[in-house]
Structure 1
Amino acid sequence: MMALTHGFMALAAAVLLLPALGESAGPVLLAAAFLGGLAPDADLVASHRKTLHFPVWLSVAALALSSLVVVTGSPAVFVLTVAVGAAALHSVSDVLGGSAEREPWNPVTENGVYNHVLGRWHRPRRYVRYSGAPEDFLVCLAFAVVAIDSGLTAPAADRALLALVAFAGVYALCRKRLAAIGSAVSSLVPTRLRAVLPTVRVEESETDGTTVDVRFGR
């Protein structure tokens, strides 16, 4: 699933759960939920769904922090709990998507999300076939509507969220053509500039999943 789908999923969970817990869903908590939901996908430039995806450890950490919040009542710990919980939700829910590979619409691996405790990959369920699939955008849109319709987000935040939904829609439309678009744009770059621009190489393996190698210079 798209990183934005995970971000909106965590944000929707926050606006639904936090008021029920008697907490004020202020902008800091909502931002923690959204950014925590995005965070695991920072490993796109490492071993995707392995380096920063911890479905077990993040869930355990979120539960431990929740207990600490009950004991201490610390607002800072509560914000951290929300962020970690959102990252855990991301890591766990990725198993519902497609495989972690360059062209998941033509799957050749069964790498859903890596479980560091078991030392193996969980197979993808493919309810959402791949990041940027039409159903992925619909899920993203549904969670965004829940968050925006809650009335807990400020008007300025709502406009930013709508802009992100639009970006997700464009990404979904272009998803299968990104490689061709990248090649077309690259061909327009003057030869002298190509020498200083980064090169991106995508490698795939059964053990490490998809690894993106970005190098500067030739």
Structure 2
Amino acid sequence: MMATTHAAVGLCLALPLTVVAPDLAPVAALAGVAGGVFPDLDLLAGVHRRTLHFPDYYWVGTVPALVVAAVAPGPETVAVATFLCSAAVHSVSDVFGAGTEARPWERTSAEAVYLHSRSQWIAPRYWIRYDGAPEDYLVTVLCFSPGLVLFGPTVRRVTVAFLAVGALYTLVRKHLPRVEERLL
């Protein structure tokens, strides 16, 4: 799935706060977006879906952080809990997409995300055919839609920016391997 989709799902994690703690909802939404993007920073390390993706270990920090945020709700505790939860959900949800190959629509990889506790890769499920597929962008739009109506201007601007980036990526995704080959 696209980083924008993970960011959108991270925003959705803040939705309950729009009802129970509206003053904390914006910080939770932004932390959820950041946590949704964070694992994909391992693209820069060259080992995507292994270096910063922890479908098992993020939960070790997430559960206590959620408890602390519930017991002592404040901007910091809610931000940390939402960030970690979003990173955990991102890491798990990559299993439902394609593998790590440059052309995931060809289905040549059996590696969706690395499970550190078992020292093995989990195979992709292809519910989302590949990152940047039209259905991937549809999930982005659906999950970011609340960001346009339930939050203030900062979250709305972030939402619009991510929707634009996701749309552009969806339009060019299938051309990127060819461009990369030419440049490298």
Instruction: Mark yes or no: TM-score above 0.5.
Output: yes
Higher-helix-fraction structure: 2
Say whether the 8 Å CA contact 2:147–2:159 is kept in structure 1. no
Aligned residues: 183
Residue equivalent to 1:206: none
Matched AA of 1:61: G
Say whether the 8 Å CA contact 2:11–2:28 is kept in structure 1. no
**Residue from 160, 165, 168 that aligns with 1:167:** 165
Matched AA of 1:176: K
Residue equivalent to 2:26: 27
Residue equivalent to 2:16: 17
Tell which deviates more after alignment, 140-149 or 51-60: 140-149
After superposition, the CA RMSD in angstroms is 2.0
Matched AA of 1:163: A
Say whether the 8 Å CA contact 2:147–2:155 is kept in structure 1. no
Provide the identity percentage: 35
Q: Which runs of 5+ in 2 are unaligned?
A: none
Say whether the 8 Å CA contact 1:25–1:152 is kept in structure 2. no
Q: Which runs of 5+ in 1 are unaligned?
A: 187-199, 201-218
Question: Rg bigger for which structure?
Answer: 1
Q: In 2 relative to 1, CA 76–21 (structure 1 residues): closer, same or farther, beyond 3 Å?
A: same
Q: Could you tell me the TM-score, scaled by structure 2's length?
A: 0.89
Equivalent-residue separation in structure 1 for 2:57 and 2:17 (angstroms): 23
- Any idea what SS the aligned residue of 1:161 has? helix
Shift of 1:68: 2.4
Q: Could you tell me the TM-score, scaled by structure 1's length?
A: 0.76
Q: In 2 relative to 1, CA 33–128 (structure 1 residues): closer, same or farther, beyond 3 Å?
A: same
Shift of 1:53: 0.5
Higher-strand-fraction structure: 1
